Amino acid sequence: MRLAPLGLAMLALACACGGQTAPPRDQWKVYLATDAPVPELGQVVLVELLDGSGSVVSSRLLDGSSNDLWPISFGIVPTSGSSPPRIRAELYRLDETGPDGLPSGDMLIDATATLPAAGDGITPTALVLAMACFGVTADVMGQRTCNAATGQLDAEPTLTAGVDPSSLPAVGSWGPAASVPCSGTPPDGMACAMGGVFILGSTQYFPMDADPFPEHLVELAPFAIDTNEVTVGAIRPLVQAGKLTEPYVGDPVAGNMPAECTYLGSTDSSHDTYPVNCVSWTTANQACQVLGKRLPTEAEWEYVAGGLGAKLPFPWGSDPAICNYAIVAAGRSGIPLPEPIECLVTPPGPGPQPAGPMDMDVVSSGVPSVGGLVQDMGGNLNEWVADVFDSYAGPCWQQGTTLLVNPLCTASVAGASLHSVRGGSWQLPAFTASVHARDSSIADGVAVATGFRCAISM
């Protein structure tokens, strides 16, 4: 039986009373250490004391959200005449908390052990929360926990007494957790996204059919991404040179579809500052290639939109006032939902707008002269990405390993004809501005709500 977090009566540290230091009571001094990056992959630790059957005797939440808090230490006072208790510690992000106040899902590090025999005075011991065990849930009733040497469940150990805390792993020392800067300066109009690790998806987001879960731990190499959606002005010369299939041509006569298509012909420069829409995935992919770039992968797109591992809910941060930040819900959606008119006051009229001071996501390469602002990932146009669409529970995302490295879903893997689309748009409801919102469309489909941006590996 597992209970929601309570005060942990058995956790106690020696105190100074009446201006004098009292002799410490007999106790275990438990150090918790981790090699995980915090707060990216962990912000809070749930500590539980367990009886022999695995039932929770008492529990406590501890702050683990910054490097200087680690190793975390606390005291446990033995109960007279009882055997050493079992201990469980789980490191997880706050947004992985379920409605019962306990960690939900398996995007955590979970470790159990039995405390060593208590000696006189203070008995130091340590429990390590290793990234090698990320995503492996302990079998509390069966007294099995992850073995960091194998990444698999094994018999629950008894901790060692007399541990030197200086010998414990340093927070963030897991190899893939190191940020990898771009190799050089990105081309003009692009910003560097340092390579790193993040959690793809979210269990907190449900409105669309393309649910962004189960979540996945992903490692990405450094890359650069366009700071703005590709514009009409960028593709007109490609069409003129015969290097690119012409997008649908917009008709400025109101009500004569596709009136909101921003491309007005290869010789019309009046919309050059507008992001180009009414392009298929095939045309978007071709345009990026002709420009010497590529479409970003779905994982890369979310990594940038979410703040490079910060797992932000929106590209601009956590403020839920979506209409203040993104061009969304400004036109008829064409989907069976209440018409998204709540943001009509934001843009000057229905249709995509030139890039402006809204919806900015800061990225940095770790090189002082490199970095920039990426705009309109939450709105204006949603964007084609490189991947064939597949459920996060599908074969593209189930590769038999906890850590997915530079994942890309292709037709040969998924056997599907849909491609992924990410981000909100002027035409869709405001909730699509979420970093985790997913959608899909056929490769040759075009829409007034859809454009693209490009990326390059660095």
Neighbour-count burial of 387, counting CB atoms closer than 10 A to its CB (0-12 exposed, 13-18 middle, 19+ buried): buried
pLDDT at 347: 45
Statement to judge: residues 69 and 151 lie in one domain: yes
Residues 350, 235 share a domain: yes
Owning domain of residue 395: 190-457
Q: What is the mean pLDDT of residues 298-317?
A: 92
Tell whether 316 and 410 lie within a shared domain.
yes
What's the pLDDT tens digit per position in 344-376? 654 445 578 887 656 666 665 444 434 568 889
User: How high is the pLDDT of residue 328?
Assistant: 86
Average pLDDT over residues 298-313: 92
Same domain, yes or no, for 208 and 335? yes
Residue 118 and residue 234 in one domain = no
Same domain for 150 and 258, yes or no, is: no
Report the pLDDT averaged over residues 412-428.
Answer: 83
Domain assignment of residue 182, yes or no: no
For residue 156 the two structure tokens come to 């629950």
* Encoded tokens for 94: 């706050």
User: What pLDDT, on a 0 to 100 scale, did the predictor assign at position 401?
Assistant: 74
The answer to whether residue 228 sits within a structural domain is: yes
What's the pLDDT score for residue 341? 54
Domain annotation covers residue 10? no
Degrees, nearest 5: CA angle 238-240-242? 70
- Sign of the CA dihedral 13, 159, 165, 309? negative
Q: Which residue has the higher pLDDT, 252 or 170?
A: 170
| 226 and 155 both lie in a single domain | no
332 shares its domain with 223: yes
Residue 371, domain member (yes or no):
yes
Determine how β-strand 72-76 pairs with β-strand 86-92: unpaired
Is residue 367 located within the same domain as residue 258?
yes
Looking at the fold, whether 239 and 299 belong to one and the same domain comes out as yes
What is the tally of structural domains in the chain? 2
Are residues 201 and 76 part of one domain? no
Indicate which CATH number applies to the domain containing 446: 3.90.1580.10
Query: Tell me, what CATH number does 125's domain have?
Result: 2.60.40
- In a domain, residue 94? The reply is yes
- Asked, for residue 8, whether it belongs to a domain, the answer is no
